[in-house]
Amino acid sequence: MTDAHISLEGDMTHAGMSPVVSEAKEIAPGRYQGTLDLNMRGDWTVLFHIALPGGRTLDRQMILRNIQAT
């Protein structure tokens, strides 16, 4: 998957908490890298909003459990 536009969104498991958003950049063909500031301890759900070159869109999600402060 190349030339895609990927927005990252991190949500806490509790409603009402502010999501954190970021963009992933293509650092090599098909490889994307982005940073999210997960600013609270606990479980986070990261959403990937993906826009493909042909106009198709995809949404994927990943759960990150037990995030601790660094």
Partner 1 sequence: MGIHSSNPSLRSADAAPFDLLRVPIIGGFLRWRHSRTVLQIPVFIVAVAMILHGLVGPTLAPKNLATVLSWVHFRGALVLVLLCAGNFFCLACPFMLVRNVARRVFRPRFNWPRALRNKWISVALFVAILFSYELFDLWSSPWWTASLAVGYFVAVLVVDGFFKHASFCKFVCPIGQFNFIASTLSPLEVAVRKPAVCDRCATKDCIRGRRDILGEQRSPAAGSPVTRAMPGLVILQRGCELALFQPRKVGNMDCTFCLDCVHACPHDNVGVISRLPAAELMVDPIRSGIGYFSHRKDIAALAIVFSFGALLNAFGMVSPVYALEAWLGKLLSVNHEAPVLGIIFATFLLAEPAILLGAAAWLTRALGGSKRTLVPLAVRYSYALVPLGFGMWLAHYGFHFFTGMLTIVPVTQAALASAGVHLLGAPQWTWTGLPIHVVRPMELGFISLGFAGSLLVVHHLAEEDCPTQPMRAFIPWAAVCVVIGLASVWLMFQPMEMRATLMGG
Tell me if 36 contacts partner 1 by CB under 8 A: no
Question: Strand, helix or coil at 67?
Answer: strand
Q: Is 26 in the site for partner 1 (CB under 8 A)?
A: no
Q: How far is the CB of 54 from partner 1 (least distance, A)?
A: 20
Measured distance between the N- and C-terminal CA atoms of the chain, rounded to whole angstroms: 32
For the segment 37-66, give every residue that binds partner 1 (CB under 8 A): 40-43, 45, 47, 61, 65-66
Phi, psi for residue 68 in degrees, rounded to 5 = -115, 155
SS3 55: coil
Q: Note the residues at the interface with partner 1 (CB under 8 A).
A: 9, 11-19, 21, 40-43, 45, 47, 61, 65-66, 69
